Structure 1
Amino acid sequence: DNTMCELYGITGDSPVRANDMLKEFYTHSHKHPHGWGLRYFNKNGTAFMCKEAVSAHNSLALPELLDHEIEAPVLIAHIRFATVGSIAGSNSHPFTSWDNSGREWTLAHNGNIYSGMELLPYLDTQSGETDSERVLLYLTDAMNKAIKDAGHPLDAVQRAVLLDEKIAAIAKRNKLNLIIYDGETYYIHTNIIDTLYSAKKSNHICFSTHPLSQKDYHWEKVPMARLFAYKGRRLIYSGKSHGHVFKPAKLPEYDQGSFVI
């Protein structure tokens, strides 16, 4: 049993009705009771975010939310199993930040961050306590430095190349399942075996920690230790493997807490 948090996401060329998938995804919250979050963007780019520090199955807001049609070309959902950081709204995913070019970034993570000097500077500036939030601040900082050095904002492929390099730099010691969105490009990374799957449809691609049971979805494992960047359904960048691959912890149910994010 994979004891980490769980992720679910959509990147598409047109709005996708996500209610059934989300309902199924959030049933997994019995095993991931420390918070849930959902961020999606409608077709004109307007963002909606809801997150709570309660289990999705105890939430009063979530059933109400899922009673409305959720149709979005871009979506990131998360359920949390806490190890680092208390059970608090500021520690629920997804996290957001703005870079100096005015671009907003959204990140959700599962895995474990064991070490890395790169992330230490953000202990004082983050709003919550999670190492996942520090990953976002680290990436935003790298983006700001690159924008400053270039003298102009980076284009989509340049941003993907930079993210690829910066994720590879911290992947050696750390478990990084990531879904990141920058308002234009949707990035996917996994380096933990059998913990991220994708299903391609005619107008969108779904990603999920576990294959979901919806009919007509053919789930495949996302290739290991590489960054993928999508615009809608179209792959615009595919990185080379950085080689740092982990097996998920197989822990007894009662001992999950020591090992998760």
Structure 2
Amino acid sequence: MCEIFCFNSNTPKQVNECLECFYNHSEDHPHGWGLANMQSDEFVIDKEPVKATCSQHLKDILSHPVVGKNVFAHIRLATVGEIVSPNCHPFHELDDNNRSWMLIHNGTIFDYPGLDKYKEHENGDTDSERILLFIIDKVNEFEKEKGAPSTIKERFNLLNGIVADLSKNNKLNLMIYDGDLTYIHSNMRKTLYYLKDEEGFLVASTPLDDDERWKEVELNKLFGLIDGNIIFESEEHDNEFIQTEEHEKALENFLNSLQE
């Protein structure tokens, strides 16, 4: 599986120390890294299909202050898709109203036939990219029917339904950003944590330090964050993911195939 990271705040903050702690986990997640920083309504995205601790490009980035209100990071342990740049997170797409969307994913889609048609349209070959393309299509359909751009609340409600449905029989730890709202979702125990303090809102697959204020993200809910605060919280769905021996075997077989 992968690890994911998000920083959300009301004012730009430097996050180098948090990122360095996060990327140090790449020894166990060696198949790529990604970093997205939202600056002045524009995504700045860097990613490579190499281990984060071995990347000179990442070292160069972190040798300068990384400052932002909305910063996302990812380290990949491949479960679907080749180890190539198009399969590294974050994924970024525009909807029909020219709104930018970004997604990072920790998990695997074992069962959702509705994503299969996007295999012909994605740049890489991951289930994660297909999730974003699916979401974009649903947003476009909603806004076309409405005849106008969606509101923040409408997008949250729409994604809540999509994410709840996608999470059935699938591990779906997600971080999504739509230019306004950061969406957070987890449906597997002890795989996503948050820390809220005066600096902002940190979310990561594992706590980044020994601060006792780290708490597990509530399962089976979608959260919407703006400026370091939760402004939307969904009802709880029933689709907790519990990894079975069958899941573990499928993932092991895939990892073994990468070494052949």
Using the size of structure 2 for normalisation, the TM-score is: 0.93
Gaps of at least 5 residues in structure 1 are none
Residue 244 (structure 1) aligned with residue 233 (structure 2)? no
Distance change (3 Å), C-alpha of 1:217 and 1:150: farther
Paired residues of 2:79 and 2:251 also in contact (CA < 8 A): no
Gaps of at least 5 residues in structure 2 are 256-260
SS in 2 for 1:137: helix
Query: Hey, what does 1:9 align to over in structure 2?
Result: 6
Query: Hey, what does 1:235 align to over in structure 2?
Result: 230
Q: What does the per-residue CA deviation read over 1:191-219, in whole Å, with 9 as the maximum and x for residues that have no partner?
A: 011000000012410000000116x5721
SS in 2 for 1:176: strand
Match of 1:183 among 179, 182, 185: 179
Distance in structure 2 (CA, Å) of the matches to 1:39 and 1:199: 20
Paired residues of 1:179 and 1:188 also in contact (CA < 8 A): yes
Higher relative contact order (CA 8 A, sep 6+): 1
Q: Report the Cα offset of residue 8 of structure 1.
A: 0.7
Residue 31 (structure 1) aligned with residue 67 (structure 2)? no
Q: Report the Cα offset of residue 248 of structure 1.
A: 5.0
Paired residues of 2:80 and 2:254 also in contact (CA < 8 A): no
Q: Output the amino acid matched with 2:25.
A: H
Match of 2:155 among 150, 156, 159: 159
Paired residues of 1:83 and 1:258 also in contact (CA < 8 A): no
Distance change (3 Å), C-alpha of 1:48 and 1:250: farther
Match of 1:172 among 164, 168, 171: 168
Q: Output the amino acid matched with 2:224.
A: A
Matches within 5 A, 1:1-261: 4-42=1-39, 44-213=40-209, 218-247=213-242, 257-258=252-253
Distance in structure 2 (CA, Å) of the matches to 1:256 and 1:149: 40
Paired residues of 1:9 and 1:179 also in contact (CA < 8 A): yes
Q: What does the per-residue CA deviation read over 1:97-125, in whole Å, with 9 as the maximum and x for residues that have no partner?
A: 11111100000001110011221110101
Using the size of structure 1 for normalisation, the TM-score is: 0.92
Paired residues of 1:118 and 1:170 also in contact (CA < 8 A): no
Distance in structure 1 (CA, Å) of the matches to 2:228 and 2:116: 35
Distance in structure 2 (CA, Å) of the matches to 1:47 and 1:5: 22
* RMSD over equivalenced CA pairs, Å: 2.0
Distance in structure 1 (CA, Å) of the matches to 2:254 and 2:93: 27
Distance in structure 1 (CA, Å) of the matches to 2:18 and 2:254: 27
SS in 2 for 1:227: strand
Q: Report the Cα offset of residue 235 of structure 1.
A: 1.7
Distance in structure 1 (CA, Å) of the matches to 2:26 and 2:230: 31
Distance change (3 Å), C-alpha of 1:55 and 1:167: same
Paired residues of 1:101 and 1:153 also in contact (CA < 8 A): yes
Q: Output the amino acid matched with 1:54.
A: V
Q: What does the per-residue CA deviation read over 1:69-91, in whole Å, with 9 as the maximum and x for residues that have no partner?
A: 01110011000001211000000
Distance in structure 2 (CA, Å) of the matches to 1:88 and 1:67: 25
Q: Output the amino acid matched with 2:226.
A: K
- Aligned pair count reads 254
Q: Output the amino acid matched with 1:174.
A: N
Distance change (3 Å), C-alpha of 1:75 and 1:217: farther
Paired residues of 1:199 and 1:217 also in contact (CA < 8 A): no
Query: Hey, what does 2:258 align to over in structure 1?
Result: none
Distance in structure 2 (CA, Å) of the matches to 1:176 and 1:246: 8
SS in 2 for 1:129: coil
Q: Output the amino acid matched with 1:23.
A: E
Percent sequence identity over aligned pairs: 38
